[in-house]
Each structure stands twice: as structure tokens, then as C-alpha cells.
Amino acid sequence: MAPALVWLTALMVVPCALVLALAFFRRGIYGGIDYTFTLENFGLVFDPLYAGIFLKSARIAGTATLIAVVIGYAAAYAIAAAPRRWQPVFLFFAVLPFWSNYLIRTYAWIVLLNREGLITQLLRWFGYTGEPPSMLYTEGAVIAGLVYNYLPFVILACYAPLSRLNPELAEASRDLGASAATTFRRVILPLTVPGIAAGAVFVFVLSIGNFVTPALLGGGRFQMIGNLVYDQFLTANDWPFGAALAMALIAIMLLVLMAQALAADRAAGRAAEARGDADG
Amino acid sequence: MSEPRTLLAIDHVSKNFGRVTAVDGISLDIRENEFFALLGPSGCGKTTLLRMLAGFETPSDGRILLDDRDIARIPPNKRPVNLMFQSYALFPHMSVRANVSYGLEMERLPAAEIRSRVDAILATTELVPFADRKPEQLSGGQKQRVALARALVKRPRLLLLDEPLGALDKKLRGAMQLELKRLQHEVGITFVIVTHDQEESLVMADRMAVLKDGRLLQCDTPHAIYEHPTDRFVADFIGVMNFVPGKVSADGVMAANGARIAGKVPAALSPGASAVASVRPERIRLFPSAETANRTTGTVEALAYHGLDLQLHVRTPLSPKSFLVRVTADAADRRPVSSGDQIELGWDAADVRIFAE
């Protein structure tokens, strides 16, 4: 317990406190920091220009989450339905991209989406002669990159409850007169929601603060909050404002994580209460 | 009295999984309002047969006629047959009431009708106080009743029960055997139960089928199967049987030690063939009269007192395995025996069954 606390203090609490403290000072005239107290930086976070970037980041992260959940759940469902001995093999391949570098995986998308990239060449091969489609440096490219990078998390998170589901539950539903679609909607989906929620929170939190994917696939002027923070620290030299933006981002992530933890806790609490009742 | 109507006809049904034959050409008729048991050791094909009746497996060969209509290829949600799963398979995220209503909602019945039918079945199965509970808040016996109510509320032509009492402890099992029979009478639905417990099928079934290695060995009333097994495996599997190996002689079996066991020899057995003579433990008497057809001496190896009766293990020269003999407590009181005693055993020729070895 004690060593963990030391590590947590040294590596998490102290750096966060330093960044938080930074946010309450003024920017020096030639960069640097002017150590006088102010709340201006936090006010600026709510300026329509920056609030708009927050909203856009949330929208992109939300879209990426939705797509990743749909694809990831379908993949997890297919793996859980495969013969037992093949399941570890399929899971291995689903997680395989994780073993390569995040940057390389993102660069691969540039090769795909380029004006003269693989997709354009493929279209040409099928006889397409018009203008090459502009796919790189768009919001779509950013979303594709985020979905691709975080998909394995969703597959693993959804596979766990799907593989534990008693197959007789689906059979019982069919036996009672439900079609396959109704069985999915009323039995399988509700019982695997915790996995979906865990995977979704993961993708959203990692996406909303991401700055590498928007920088590489969104082009130079494309900005999400992560890029904005990056710019304040390294380009604009406005560390106090960068710190305030970072704090706002952390606050959003904490809210999402807490909401999920609370929901999971409540589900677990209901289950525990139920078991208590049965014992009494 | 007219012959009861056949509800379900299983007609030369086989099921292969790859090269494994799970069910091998079984034909059976199940009658309207019957309590029918499929009995056999694990791996005998009884569960596969049940899953074909429910629609979860399709026969490789043969027909399954329900009310004279072939249902072999109809999906499970489209046949008037319901299955009570061994694991109960209650929906854990739904209350007892929602579990029981589910099947009627699938039939798109009016809400008022669903409500009244669910209320009625909850009352029949004594589940009204638990209607709002989730499955995890129920005991094993309560879960079993919910699974039963959920299947019965659909008023199926045929209710299938897969080892319905397997998950219950011994005492509760005895009570539920009678409860199931009472319910079956009350709702007037044909029950087909799968079990590996021969005692369970003797107690509950009107008729039963004994299966082994995917084949049907015998199908009859429990009494007929117990008293007149047609197969050595059936004789051994149902109840307890004492066997004497030997060779077929003119009017019985000649044991290895030269003793002759008198009994009716089946027509299919020719003299000199290897055979076993058998007799039930309760048909053997201690200290038989001189006229008794079959007599032997033996040494009492062990005694077990069971309240109503006394069970003796007696070593005899007839077979390498010791005989099990059941005598009533009364008889034991009249002439007490103890371990190590030399005693005489006897039984009538009419109580001997002879099978090919």
C-alpha cells in the first residue's frame, strides 16, 4: 500500500498539482510565467472559439466511439460464436496491431488515404478515371484513424461478457417463440451492455484527448483539444492557458469515467443486494 | 376402452455428428397426456433426441410427427413444443413475472390476456410472492418452478424436461417428483422427461424408454420394464439384479460350478449358448422350503439395515459377485442372521429371467 502511494504521489498527484497551479498564473510578456494570481485562463476556456473546439473534439470522439462499438461488438460476437479452440487465435489477430507502434499504424492510413494512395489505385484498377477522391486531411480520416487504433479495446471488452453468456439463454428465448433478432434485442444485448460501456468509455476518453491522429490524418490546421494544448505549450508559449485547457480536458475525462464507474457500481450493488436477499 | 391417441411419433430418427452417431434409428410413439421418460446413461443419445424434439437439432434421417405433421425441420420458435432446460436458463435481467410473460409476448397476445394467464400459472406453481424477484434472488426449487411456469404458460402440445430435478438436493427431489406429476395432471399437457436416474423414471413415468449407445432397448411401463426386462443391460440398469453366468440348458442355465438355475429360456437362445440367469434381490427368500426350484447356500458377508428392510450381501458358489438379498424387517426379526453365518437362499423359477451373454 505505502509504496503504491509514494509512486502515485510522485508520478500523478505532484505533476497534476503543478499543472493545476500553473493555470492560475499569467503568461509573461516574452513567454515564461508571470507569478500573479488570475482566473482569466479558465474564463478563456469558455470563450466560444475554444469551447467550439471542445465540442468538435467531443463530437469526433463520440462518432469514433459509436463506430468502434458497432464494429467491435460485431467482431466480438463473431469470435464468441466461433468454435472454442479457434477463439484464442481470432482474439490474437484482433489484438495483433497493438504490437506495432501507434505512429506507424497511423502512417499506414496516410498510405491508404493519400490522393495517389492505395484506395485511389484500387479505384483506378476498377476503371475509375475521374479526380482522385480527397480523403486524407478530413474529419473522416481522423475518425477512421481513431476507430482503427482503439478497436481492439472494444473487441476485448465486448468479448468477455459475450463468451460468458450461457448459450442456453438464447436457446430458451427461441424456444419461447422469439425470432433470432428479438432474442438478440431482448436477451443478448441487455446482458452484454457492461462490456459495451467499458469499451465505449475507453475509446471516448482516449479519443477526445488525442493529438497525434488529428495532427497526422487531419492536416496541419485541424485542431482537437489535444492539439490546442500542444500548441499552447510548444508554439504559443502560453503555458498557463495550456494548463487550464489540460485541466478542463482532465475534468471531462474524469466525469465520463466516474459516470461509468457509478453505473457499474450500481449494477454490482443491485446484484449484491439481490444475493443478500436470497440468503435472508 | 379405446387405445390412447398418439401425439408424437418418432419415426426411424437418426442423428450423426460427423462420424459419431448420437441417435441410431429410434422409433417411439408418445401418447396424448402421457408422462413419458427417456432414460439412459450419459452419452446414450437421450439429450440429442430431446433437442431434436425441441428443434435445436435437425435429424440426419427420419421423421418427427406431431399431430401427424412432420416438424423435424421447423425452427424451435415455430413449434408448439417447449423445453425446460437443465440449467433452467432463466433470463437473469428479468423478474419472475417478466420471465413468465416473455413467451406470451412473443405470441403478441393482448396485455390483459397475458396478465391473467401469467397470474394463473404463478398461482399454480405457488410463485405469486416471488413475482417481482430476479432469478438470482430465488432458491434452486423456486428457480425450477419458474422455469416450469415459463414453459407451461405457453400451453404447449408437448413439454420437454431435460434432467429437471438434477440440480436439486435429494430431499427436495423426492418432493418435486410428486409435484411434477401433480402439475402434469392439473394442466393436462404431455410431458417428456430426460433423466439418467432410473428411480426417478420409475416413480414419475407412465411409460419409459431405455436408451443405450443411441439405440432404443425397451419401451414400456415402469412395472413391465422392471419385471420383464428384455435385455441384459436394461435388467442391470433398472433397479438391482443378481446375475449367474453360465450355459443354456434344457430348462434353465447351468452355472460354472455345475448348479442348475431353473427358469424360462427365451426362444432365441439355443442350448449350450453363453447366457446369464438373473433374479431380483426382493425375490430371494432365506431358509426356503424343499420344493423351491432354485436353492443355494452362501456366507453372509455384510448386513445393511434400511429400516423397512434388511439388505444382505451373500457369497455363493454360483457367481464371482456376491448376491444382494432384501428381506423385510419382519422376516429378519423372526430368524435373525449375522455376518459370517452360513445360510440357505431360494427363489422360484418364475422369478428367473435369462438373457444372452
Question: For chain A, what percent of residues have pLDDT higher than 70?
Answer: 95
Instruction: Report the C-alpha gap between A142 and A121 in whole angstroms.
Output: 21
Picking from A165, A169, A175, A188 by the largest number of B CB atoms within 10 A of its own CB, the best residue to mutate is A175
For range A179-202, the mean pLDDT: 94
User: Which chain A residue's Cα is nearest to B93?
Assistant: A191
Query: Is A134 strand, coil or helix?
Result: coil
What pLDDT score does A187 carry? 95
Instruction: Report the C-alpha gap between B192 and B86 in whole angstroms.
Output: 13
Look at residue A199 and tell me whether its pLDDT is greater than 50: yes
CB atoms within 10 A of CB A100: 10
Distance from the Cα of B107 to chain A's closest Cα (Å) equals: 7
Look at residue A278 and tell me whether its pLDDT is greater than 60: no
Look at residue A273 and tell me whether its pLDDT is greater than 70: no
The answer to whether A169 contacts chain B (CB < 8 Å) is yes
Residue predicted with more confidence, A164 or B334: A164
What pLDDT score does A274 carry? 52
The answer to whether B87 contacts chain A (CB < 8 Å) is yes
Confidence of residue A271 (pLDDT cuts 50, 70, 90): low
Is B127 in contact with A268 (CB distance < 8 Å)? no
The answer to whether B108 contacts chain A (CB < 8 Å) is no
Query: Is A101 strand, coil or helix?
Result: coil
Task: Give pTM, 2 decimals.
Answer: 0.83
Instruction: Report the C-alpha gap between B117 and A59 in whole angstroms.
Output: 48
What pLDDT score does B189 carry? 93
The answer to whether A174 contacts chain B (CB < 8 Å) is yes
Look at residue A266 and tell me whether its pLDDT is greater than 90: no
Look at residue A182 and tell me whether its pLDDT is greater than 90: yes
Instruction: Report the C-alpha gap between B152 and B168 in whole angstroms.
Output: 20
Is A27 in contact with A224 (CB distance < 8 Å)? no
Written as nine digits, the cell of B292 is: 423351491
ipTM reported for the complex, 2 dp: 0.86
Look at residue A124 and tell me whether its pLDDT is greater than 50: yes
Cα-Cα-Cα-Cα dihedral sign, residues A162, A163, A169, A173: positive
Give the Cα-Cα-Cα angle B155, B51, B221 (nearest 5 degrees): 75
What pLDDT score does A58 carry? 95
Distance from the Cα of B11 to chain A's closest Cα (Å) equals: 23
> Please, what are the domains in chain A?
48-271 (1.10.3720.10)
Q: Hey, are the CB atoms on B91 and A173 less than 8 Å from each other?
A: yes
Torsion of CA A266, A271, A277, A280, to 10 degrees: -120
For range B308-315, the mean pLDDT: 91
Q: Does the B240-356 domain belong in CATH 3.40.640.10?
A: no
Write down how long chain A is.
280
User: Which chain B residue's Cα is nearest to A177?
Assistant: B77
For range A61-74, the mean pLDDT: 97
CATH of domain B6-227: 3.40.50.300
For range B6-32, the mean pLDDT: 95
Q: Hey, are the CB atoms on A187 and B75 less than 8 Å from each other?
A: no
For range A71-82, the mean pLDDT: 96
The answer to whether A279 contacts chain B (CB < 8 Å) is no
Which of B288, B300, B303 is CA-nearest to residue B341?
Answer: B300
Cα-Cα-Cα-Cα dihedral sign, residues A145, A148, A152, A155: positive
- Helix axis angle for A48-81 and A239-279, nearest 10°, is 40
pLDDT in tens, A205-239: 999 999 999 999 998 778 899 999 999 999 888 99
Confidence of residue B335 (pLDDT cuts 50, 70, 90): confident
Q: Give B 120-159 residues with CB within 8 A of chain A.
A: 133-134, 136-139, 150-151, 154
What pLDDT score does B104 carry? 97
Look at residue A240 and tell me whether its pLDDT is greater than 70: yes
CB atoms within 10 A of CB A253: 16
Q: What are the CA-CA distances from residue A54 to residues A201, A209, A248 (Å)? A: 17, 10, 9
Q: Hey, are the CB atoms on B154 and A278 less than 8 Å from each other?
A: no
Written as nine digits, the cell of B195 is: 433423466
What pLDDT score does A270 carry? 64
Query: Is A224 strand, coil or helix?
Result: coil
Cα-Cα-Cα-Cα dihedral sign, residues B203, B204, B207, B210: negative
Torsion of CA B97, B53, B64, B48, to 10 degrees: 180
pLDDT in tens, B112-132: 999 999 999 999 989 999 999
Q: Which residues of A touch B56 (CB under 8 A)?
A: 171, 174
Residue predicted with more confidence, A258 or B331: A258
Distance from the Cα of B233 to chain A's closest Cα (Å) equals: 32
Q: Which residues of B touch A175 (CB under 8 A)?
A: 54-55, 76-77, 82-83, 151
User: Which chain A residue's Cα is nearest to B153?
Assistant: A176
Question: For chain A, what percent of residues have pLDDT higher than 90?
Answer: 70
Q: Hey, are the CB atoms on A179 and B154 less than 8 Å from each other?
A: no
Considering only the beta carbons, identify the residue of B75, B93, B150 that sits closest to A176: B150
How many CB pairs (< 8 A) connect A and B? 67
User: Which chain B residue's Cα is nearest to A192?
Assistant: B93
For range A33-39, the mean pLDDT: 90
- SS3 for chain B, per residue? CCCCCEEEEEEEEEEEECCEEEEEEEEEEEECCCEEEEECCCCCCHHHHHHHHHCCCCCCEEEEEECCEECCCCCHHHCCEEEECCCCCCCCCCCHHHHHHHHHHHCCCCHHHHHHHHHHHHHHCCCHHHCCCCHHHCCHHHHHHHHHHHHHCCCCCEEEEECCCCCCCHHHHHHHHHHHHHHHHHHCCEEEEEECCHHHHHHHCCEEEEEECCEEEEEECHHHHHHCCCCHHHHHHCCCCEEEEEEEECCEEEECCCCEEECCCCCCCCCCCEEEEEECHHHCEECCCCCCCEEEEEEEEEEEECCCEEEEEEECCCCCCCEEEEEEHHHHHHCCCCCCCEEEEEECHHHCEEEEC
Q: Per DSSP, what are the bridge partners of residue B65?
A: B9, B70
Q: What is the mean pLDDT of chain A?
A: 90
Look at residue B256 and tell me whether its pLDDT is greater than 90: no
Considering only the beta carbons, identify the residue of A176, A182, A275 that sits closest to B154: A176
Q: Domain residues of chain B, as ranges? A: 6-227, 240-356
Q: Hey, are the CB atoms on B137 and A278 less than 8 Å from each other?
A: yes
